[in-house]
A and B are shown apart, each in its own frame.
Chain A
Amino acid sequence: MDLSLSSDQIAVLDALDSLAKPYEAAPLHGTGFALTDPGLDRALAGGGFLDVGFDPDLGIATAGLVVERLARLPQASEAASSAIVRPLLGDGVGSPLCMVEEDKLLRPVRFLREGATVVVAGRSVTSFVATAGQVRAEPEALFGYPVATLLSLPEARTDHAVDAALLRTHWRIALAAESAGLLAAALASVCAHTTERQQFGRPLASFQGLRHRLAEAQVRTNGVYWLAMKAAATLDPADAALAALHAQETARAVVYDFHQFMGAMGMTLEHPLHLWTYRLKLLAGELGGRGGNALAAAETLWGSA
């Protein structure tokens, strides 16, 4: 057992930090619900960061680290599926990669647009490249991702020789790793604001009513990080389901607190908090939500009745 980063992982994260710096510093005033940056997407693709999962020495464990780090950026980028799910499908599959469950077609789909690759998880795994007619953009959606509705599922889809359960395991890992980064960034953002803002002659963050809930959020966020990293390293279906469950449960427990502690500032689009929390809101329902992931974990750990 040794949970330290390998030297290769440290090198990848260092390089990613340099890449991320200018985006971190981007002006965030009045961004709208979702913020994207095509330059970031190009830089990530160009730097090969989303392909580390294909390298057997780095693997999904390193992809998990990359996804967690990128999720801390205020800009939403389609990194999680590309870095963590795509290695199962092969590098012939294009991006962005949009994940949908066959029995839940009406949901808003992250990054869906004409030309995106849609992966359909049913009993088997299939994919297709979306056409304009299959997609309705949802620019007014209350989510921190660009989303669209998938209007129809074409009959003709590419079959992938990958087990649907394995695909869901990777999807869960992607969800958990991304959530870990979102939670960490949201927490840091709230800590910064409550440290700066004074009421009653003291910084807000010196009031224990806030401090303890922020500290508990740290404990939960740390747990999501480690469960996600463990699942990424083991690729074990139970680990993945527990990680996804803990991610969604943590989002449930902290998101309203985070906005609450910002006061009215947390209701504005001038402060960037929503760029993280309103991404967590979309992830909350994926893969059956907490109940679905809990049942999946229970099934893998203990079998059915």
Chain B
Amino acid sequence: MNFAWTAEEAAFRQRLKDFLAATLPDDWERFSQHGPASPALTEYARAFCGKLAEDGLLTPHWPVEIGGQGLDPWHQTILAEEMWVAGEPRGGQYMNVNWVGPTLIKYGSPAQQQRYLPAITGGTALWCQGFSEPGSGSDLASLRTRAERVGEDYHVNGQKIWTSYAGLADTCFLLCRTGEDRKKGISILLVPMDTPGITVRAIPSLIGEGDIHEVFFDDVRVPATALFGDEGQAWEIIAFSLVNERLGIPRYRLARAARDRAVAVLKAQGGWSGEAVRIEAAHAAALCEAARTASYAIVTKRAQGEAVGPESSSARFATVMAERRVAEFVVEYLPEALADAHPYLKMHHQRGIVAGIAAGAAEIQLNIIANDVLKLPREPR
């Protein structure tokens, strides 16, 4: 077991830090509070990702054949950590490089690849992920948005909800029902968001502007060439897509940085002398480190080419615990951060609440751990 970074990994991290220091505007900490899906950040991300691409830092972990440099999962982790701890200046484009691009390469038709990949590798595309529906959250396979084949078109009717980036996205990676089978009746359409019949409504949220939306599909017609993969193949494809996403965002990294920032502020303000505050900070530190090492155990497996199994749910839940403890620490000892005294801490707090819900809720992770890590008998359905 080696818990130290190699010189090369450390140099890669430093390169990213240097890039961020040279590129982000001076008022970035305040600016980034707009939230990763806000119009301001989305626009900024286009310029930022373009520069990342020029420096070979947008898709370095993609295989060489598809325009990457074939860097291993550790580099992917370092990249994700440095971007997230900086407030995710890639905005919604992080999804492109993590899974939309690789999925297009694996399952897309040549025409789809030609159409969509250049904007992803150039750092200008913005996708949204049309999965959840009002009646289908954790139970995604119950989704009801329907796509009906009519001649050379699909006619789409239904509703998506909680869709991040939908207000500004150019394309939707849309899950819809083409058959009755719970999972094998689901297909994927790549739908341009300016197609007539699509209505997007932003939902005001605790986590910043533009993050979640309702998207209505009212007799939306897309050509059959928008079908991604085969009809009924959606479940298989998203399983592939989300393999890279199983660990989720490296939230433990921002949680740790927020915790350290809070401690620095407390020390400067004379708020660090009591035992209670130091004990609480240490609890938060232990949970951050537990989440980080549990995540690194998964990255180790990936780096060795092994399949990542249900243990990633354990790392995910550990991250939720860390995220909450840091947020609670700040609320208790530095409440002024949530007013406007410390933009970085506010940014952490605002984003942190999502950890236990988005990309698979915490209780679903516990169900997976119970079933597949502890191998307990399943709940009856």
Contact = CB atoms under 8 A, between A and B. Distances in A.
Contacts of B294: 219, 222-223, 226
Interface string B1-18: 111111001000000000
A241 interface: yes
A interface, how many residues as a size bin?
35 or more
A6 interface: yes
A77 to B, nearest CB: 23
A61 B2 CA distance: 9
Interface in B62-98: 74
B333 interface: no
Nearest to B291: A223
A187 B367 CA distance: 16
B282 A295 contact: yes
Give the residue among A216, A229, A291 with the most B Cβ atoms within 10 A: A216
A214 B374 contact: yes
B317 interface: yes
B235 interface: no
Contacts of B370: 205, 211-212, 214-215
Interface string A207-245: 110011011101110111011011001100001011101
B114 interface: no
Interface string A1-16: 1111110010000000
Interface in B290-327: 290-291, 293-294, 296-297, 299-300, 303-304, 311, 314, 317-318, 321
A272 B260 CA distance: 43
A33 B321 CA distance: 34
B239 interface: no
Interface stretch (A68-76, A83-91, A103-111, A297-305): A297-305
B285 A2 contact: no
A219 B279 contact: no
A1 B278 contact: no
Nearest to A297: B282
A3 B379 contact: no
A229 B1 contact: yes
A5 B300 CA distance: 10
A191 interface: yes
Given A202-B380, A298-B278, A301-B285, A226 B290 contact: yes
B368 to A, nearest CB: 8
Given A219-B321, A227-B293, A294-B278, A245 B379 contact: no
A127 B303 CA distance: 46
Given A218-B369, A230-B3, A305 B267 contact: yes
Nearest to A213: B366
Contacts of B5: 1
A217 B118 CA distance: 46
A229 B297 CA distance: 11
Give the residue among A191, A223, A243 with the most B Cβ atoms within 10 A: A223
A194 interface: yes
B281 A3 contact: no
A168 interface: no
A56 B365 CA distance: 40
A223 B293 contact: yes
Give the residue among B74, B275, B283, B365 with the most A Cβ atoms within 10 A: B283
A293 B282 CA distance: 9
B202 interface: no
B275 A211 contact: no
A124 interface: no
A230 B283 contact: no
Cβ-closest 6 pairs across A and B: A223-B290, A226-B293, A294-B282, A305-B273, A298-B278, A215-B369
Interface of B: 1-6, 9, 74, 260, 263, 267, 270, 272-273, 275, 278-279, 281-283, 285-287, 289-291, 293-294, 296-297, 299-300, 303-304, 311, 314, 317-318, 321, 363, 365-367, 369-370, 373-380
26 contacts: A1-B9, A2-B303, A9-B1, A194-B376, A205-B377, A212-B366, A212-B367, A214-B370, A215-B374, A216-B366, A219-B317, A222-B311, A222-B314, A226-B290, A230-B293, A246-B286, A290-B279, A291-B275, A294-B278, A294-B283, A295-B282, A301-B263, A301-B282, A302-B263, A302-B278, A305-B272
Given A206-B380, A211-B379, 8 more contacts: A3-B1, A3-B300, A206-B376, A206-B379, A214-B370, A219-B369, A226-B293, A226-B294
Interface of A: 1-6, 9, 61, 187, 191, 194-195, 202-203, 205-208, 211-212, 214-216, 218-220, 222-224, 226-227, 229-230, 233-234, 239, 241-243, 245-246, 249, 290-291, 293-295, 297-299, 301-305
